[in-house]
Amino acid sequence: NKIFSPVKNKVFYPVKNKVEQVVPLDVLVKGSHLYNKARRVVDPRERSPIFVETPIPDGATIPLADIDMSNPFLYRQGQWESHFKRLRDESPVHHQTKGPFGPFWSVTRYEDILAMDKDHHLFSAEPDIIIGKFPAGFDIKMFIAMDPPQHDIQRAAVQPVVAPQNLKELEGLIRSRVQEVLDELPVGEPFDWVDNVSIELTGRMLATLLDYPYELRRELTVISDLASGVPGATGGTSDLDEVFTKCRPILRRVLQLWEQKKARIAAGEAPGYDLISLLLADENTQDMIERRPMEFLGNCVLLVIGGNDTTRNSMSGGVYALNKFPDEFAKLKANPKLIPNMVSEIVRWQTPLAYMARRAKEDTVLGGKNIKKGDKLIMWYASANRDERHFDSPEKLIIDRKNARNHIAFGFGVHRCMGNRLAEMQLRILWEELLERFDDIKVVEEPEIVQSTFVRGYSKMMVELTKKQ
């Protein structure tokens, strides 16, 4: 059911979009962009909010009613821990009525969040999992924001990309790339760890998962940063026009890959283990691009965003944490066998995604509070992983912490992170190779922290390496 256009090599997909037109997917995105621009002109609520940074007081000193957990500067100003502690102790299921993203409930204790995450019948991931809302025209559908059964079908189709066998095959490749990147780093002079190591390594990984042209891998990290930084969605700084325009050439390349792989599979070639091959090989998803293009787009975006900020900020967060707790660095050097446990502890300590949002499907009671059907609830993983009811001295990085693996930074239940094993493997290999080469990785100035309610991350971190004697 394809229509070939007079333009050479251009395939048009019959897409039933809002205006029932037949348009190719990248043109559909262009249309969404125009629609979004128009909506911004006529509806002030569609314009990106502008956040002005002002000093945030310690959470212990503010009236509970004035606490704003949706302030995108909480992490940058280091006030998030005091705010969460206040809520955990005094109002663990807390209704916030004021703020730039409208009303929502903050759920801050580990046990309450675990219970919520397990109960997808009562707490829905639809229509989205962020505190704000995506702008008009952002109609992509991701299975992270779907409930079963649709969620399960889509997840099952792409899960093999991170299946144990695939990871085993990937391990050698990941290690050689880590070695290559580390061997090129300058020794004895400051450089930006975020750009040279964390972004570089995650970009290489994402290109592999999508089988995207390797030399263009930075396009994936750039679009992922733009998408996760949409101001009205997560309190970030992205420019909406840039999100739409930078997305289109990437999309065209992904569409090309789809056609090439489809032709190869039709000619009898075994499908690979990249995302597109997997979607093409599964009967539930092989016609996705024709029938449900926005879901196809959603799967690509989910894998790219899911694997980008998260792993990247764990790579940076680990270095930062070991600088804050130098005794732990010494412990690690004395006993490299602690690396796997340390990886879990780093992910707990950093918690790169601060939360996931849910909607109550029915009236219910949580933590003694009456929740109404349709209410938005934020499960603050960043707080659960600092819950002193569950972790001793939670603010400290303790690389041999006994219950480090119980962290909830990967979520729980049906949506538990699909890429957790891959992320842990990447981090383990990075630390194994780092210890082989360097005696010290010194953070030489305070890192720059991203503006966001959602991503707990670093935009710049200057470090200096000391070679192993």
List residues near ligand HEM by CB under 6 A. 117, 143-144, 155, 162, 302-303, 306-307, 310-311, 314, 347, 352-353, 356, 381, 409-413, 415-419, 422-423
Least gap, CB of 107 to ligand HEM (angstroms): 13
Least gap, CB of 412 to ligand HEM (angstroms): 5
Rank residues 135 and 306 by Cβ distance to ligand HEM and give the closer one: 306
C-alpha distances in Å from residue 280, one per residue of 143, 158, 346, 350, 351: 17, 10, 36, 36, 33
Rank residues 220 and 257 by Cβ distance to ligand HEM and give the closer one: 220
Rank residues 251 and 347 by Cβ distance to ligand HEM and give the closer one: 347
Rank residues 90 and 111 by Cβ distance to ligand HEM and give the closer one: 111
Rank residues 26 and 309 by Cβ distance to ligand HEM and give the closer one: 309
Least gap, CB of 468 to ligand HEM (angstroms): 26
Rank residues 46 and 309 by Cβ distance to ligand HEM and give the closer one: 309
Rank residues 136 and 430 by Cβ distance to ligand HEM and give the closer one: 430
Least gap, CB of 206 to ligand HEM (angstroms): 8
Least gap, CB of 466 to ligand HEM (angstroms): 27
Least gap, CB of 345 to ligand HEM (angstroms): 12
Least gap, CB of 60 to ligand HEM (angstroms): 28
